[in-house]
Amino acid sequence: MNKLGIDPIAQDKIKIEVADNGPDMVIRFIGDIDMEDPSIILDPVFEKVHSGMVSKKIPEIVADFKGLNFLNSSGIKAVAKWIMKLAMLPADQKYRIKIAHNKAITWQVTSLPTLTFLVPGAVKIE
């Protein structure tokens, strides 16, 4: 079990794993997010991740999309919603999100960098 106590999820065509990453965390997405309403799966996970990162004062989480074949715009909305939570935090509670992407997957190259513009300084891409 990881520091945040979040169980892995395998539902529809998507697997989500949250794991410790040294002093930080990593959340991995594997499969496809192309269901009609991905917020049913994604919003509760992001809420748990967000509250855990803040309460445990963990400085950084890697959002690893390398194993994600497709993400529809409703899924992008859920990721954006998570990132926008960072804008509401006071400075001493903020954590960083580092996006890991796969350069061989076209949508990842075009979609994921745009997320860094949502909350300036909060999200980096690698």
Partner 1 sequence: MAKPDGYIEIRFGPRWKYISPARIFIQNFIAIAISDQAKADAIAMAASELLENAVKYGASEDTHCIVQAFPETGLITASVTNQATEQGAKEVSGLFKKIMAGDPLEAYIMQMREAATRSDGKSQLGLARIRYETGANLKLEVSPENRVTITIEVR
Residues that bind partner 1 (CB under 8 A): 32, 34-37, 39, 70, 72-74, 76-77, 80-81, 83-84, 105-107, 110-111, 114-115, 117-118
Please state, in angstroms and as integers, the Cα–Cα distance from residue 8 to each residue in 46, 84, 104, following that order: 13, 24, 26
Distance between CA atoms of residues 30 and 58, nearest Å: 24
Name the minimum Å distance from CB 126 to partner 1.
20
Taking the least distance from each CB to partner 1, the nearer of 56 and 124 is 124
Radius of gyration for the chain, computed over Cα atoms and rounded to the nearest angstrom:
13
Environment class of 8 (CB within 10 Å of its CB; exposed 0-12, middle 13-18, buried 19+): exposed
In the complex with partner 1, the residue whose CB is nearer, 2 or 39, is 39
Shortest Å, Cβ 76 to partner 1: 6
In angstroms, what is the minimal distance from the CB of 50 to partner 1? 13
